[in-house]
Structure 1
Amino acid sequence: MPELPEVETTRRKIEPLLAGRTILNITHDAPHRYRDTHLAQGRRVSGLSRRGKYLLLHLAAPDAPEEMPHDLELIVHLGMTGGFRLEEGPHTRVTLTTDAGKLYFNDPRRFGKMAVVPAGEYRGMPTLTGMGPEPLGDDFREEEFARLAAQAGAVKPWLLSQKPVSGVGNIYADESLWRARIHPAQTHLTREEAGRLYHAVREVMAEAVEAGGSSLGNGSGNYRQHDGDVGFFQGRHAAYGRGGQPCPRCGTDIRKVVLGQRGTHFCPECQPLRAEGGRQKADG
């Protein structure tokens, strides 16, 4: 599933194609999945931004001055396999036509969503409404993260909730926890553990954005950009997807378990499960 680095790369790639352009039409055959897209017709795309795993197209009235704030937003969630393309394909679900041409939203597994809403009104989107700070932004503060982590249950599901920090999904949770040497089922992080994880999240996300995200596998649902480019961070994965392979740090086989209904990868030697009170439990 596209996470923050993949969505940020998407934003950067399609912004030159859409910014300043007028949307002439958005066509699809699933109004329950792509809501109120007719409201974007005739609107100018004044800019693109991202919040966690969500892409936001800012829509201004066609005659609005450049400096006037936008009053509508087209919210895009890529789902598990969604992405934009320059050409129509067998999995095209949405066609976005502007005064400069067409952009196609492909989604083999049909989990992607779009909605046009008044700017900043996300009441029908609880994940977006309750999302934590951006991991690379100034609002993501170590002391607050540590305070929340001290009260948290199993740390990986907690990260995936999007509440302590936004945009972290399965791939980057595994990678951040491996770097921080923290077991994914660890609860109630100490101040020192939380500090390690805070810095690991920031480092992993920054590196993944720089690498254009992670592209896994070769199927039709493999993440890639509209121009065919793939991400390169998968070559740096130390834990995710490496079950049974040696840990790059100590050589112990990476273990794969299911935690919170998600496949989870970790090193049982580098990431021991600490019992409450300081003792260590058996891994797994």
Structure 2
Amino acid sequence: MPELPEVETVRRTLQQLVVGKTVERVTVRLPRIVQHPDDIEIFAALLVGETIRSVERRGKFLRFIFDHYTLVSHLRMEGRYGVYRSDEPLEPHTHVVFHFTDGSELRYKDVRQFGTMHIFAKDQDLQEAPLRKLGLEPLDEAFTLKAMTDRLAKRTTKIKPLLLNQEYIVGIGNIYVDESLFRAGIHPEREANSLSASEWAKLHEAIVSTLRDAVAAGGSSIKSFVNGQGEIGMFQHQFNMYGRQGEPCPTCGQHIEKKVVAGRGTHYCPKCQPLKRKRSSGGKT
């Protein structure tokens, strides 16, 4: 599933490719992609004559900002966008096509068919599902160490599933949680309230630096991710942990281990990320 760096990469690409284009008509070939409104004819009609003013992101969601509406798009597992000439043949699994007045088209393809689209009145989308309950944006200025610890530090949940919970921090999926925890030297099964102040500071820095590095590299292409121009990401070549079980840790040389934590395959170094338990007396870890 595309995580924050991949969605941000797509956003930046589409910002260059489609902003300023006006919709002439919309073709929906797979109705279940459209979640709101539940009538695909209304969905298509709302955007006719609308011009894309910007492409934004909230967590793992894309937000296409039109004159009067916002289209919220979730790529899910394998959704992808591409810009084509209208005379180019449709590729398999093309489910939604936005036909522009200049003869170009924005096409949404999704082999797994898990992606979703919602249209709301402009800015109303932030007050409605699926965006309403999303947490802190880790690349925003508002994502301070205090903001993070205020939300997470007293939780008794293991740190990995807590970081995966989009109601606390958005956009960090399995890959970037593993990489961030390694950079911070924190075991994925540590309880959040067992982390010391210095560990929270290291984790905050690790999350921000990992995501920024991944965005700079165009995201990670593990299976099929490409941006709006068909280009793959390169951050997978910088992985320290993810997908490297059995290989030597780049820091200490010990073999990287993999286990299931909260239902997710999790990669970590047992030496660099020791599992410390919180003392019952409330002492330091």
TM over 0.5, yes or no?
A: yes
Of the candidates 168, 183, 187, which is equivalent to residue 187 of structure 2? Answer: 183
Task: State whether residues 59 and 137 of structure 2, in contact with CA within 8 Å, keep that contact through their aligned partners in structure 1.
Answer: yes
Task: Verify: 1:14 aligned to 2:14, yes or no.
Answer: yes
In the other structure, the counterpart of 1:107 is: 110
Distance 1:89 1:42 in 2: 26
**Is 1:76–1:114's contact at 8 Å kept on the other side of the alignment?**
yes
Instruction: Give structure 1 stretches of 5+ with no counterpart.
Output: 61-70
Measured in 1, the distance between the counterparts of 2:69 and 2:146 equals 35
User: Retained in 1: the 8 A contact 2:17–2:83?
Assistant: no
**Is the 8 Å Cα contact of residues 29 and 94 (structure 2) preserved in structure 1?**
no
1:140-190 Cα deviation digits (max 9, x unpaired): 010121233321211111111123322111111111001001111111122
Q: Could you tell me which amino acid in structure 2 is paired with residue 177 of structure 1? A: L
Taking the aligned partners of 2:146 and 2:158, their CA distance within structure 1 comes to: 19
In the TM superposition, structure 1's runs of 4+ consecutive aligned residues that sit over 4 Å from their partners are: none
| Other-structure match for 2:60 | 53
Secondary structure class of the residue paired with 2:277: coil
1:158 aligns with 162
User: In structure 1, what is the Cα distance between the partners aligned to 2:270 and 2:48?
Assistant: 54
1:82 aligns with 2:79: yes
Task: Give the match for residue 69 of structure 2.
Answer: 72
Cα offset, 1:124, TM superposition:
4.7
How far 1:279 moved relative to its partner? 8.7
Percent sequence identity over aligned pairs: 39
In structure 1, the partner of 2:87 is: none
What letter matches 1:151 in structure 2?
K
Find the aligned partners of 1:144 and 1:86 in 2 and give their Cα distance: 38
What secondary structure sits across from 2:25 in the alignment? strand
TM-score by length of 1: 0.88
TM-score by length of 2: 0.88
Unmatched 5+ stretches in structure 2: 38-42, 85-89
CA contact (8 A) 1:40 1:116 kept: no
* Per-residue deviation, 1:228: 2.0
Query: Would you say 1:214 and 2:217 are equivalent positions?
Result: no
Aligned counterparts of 2:83 and 2:184: Cα–Cα separation in 1 = 39
Give the deviation of 1:223 after TM superposition: 0.1
Offset at residue 90 of structure 1 (A): 1.2
CA offsets per residue over residues 93-146 of structure 1, 9 Å max, x none?
2112112311211111111111111223345524x2122222111110101212
RMSD (CA atoms): 1.7
Aligned length: 265
Contact preservation (8 Å) 2:187, 2:268: yes
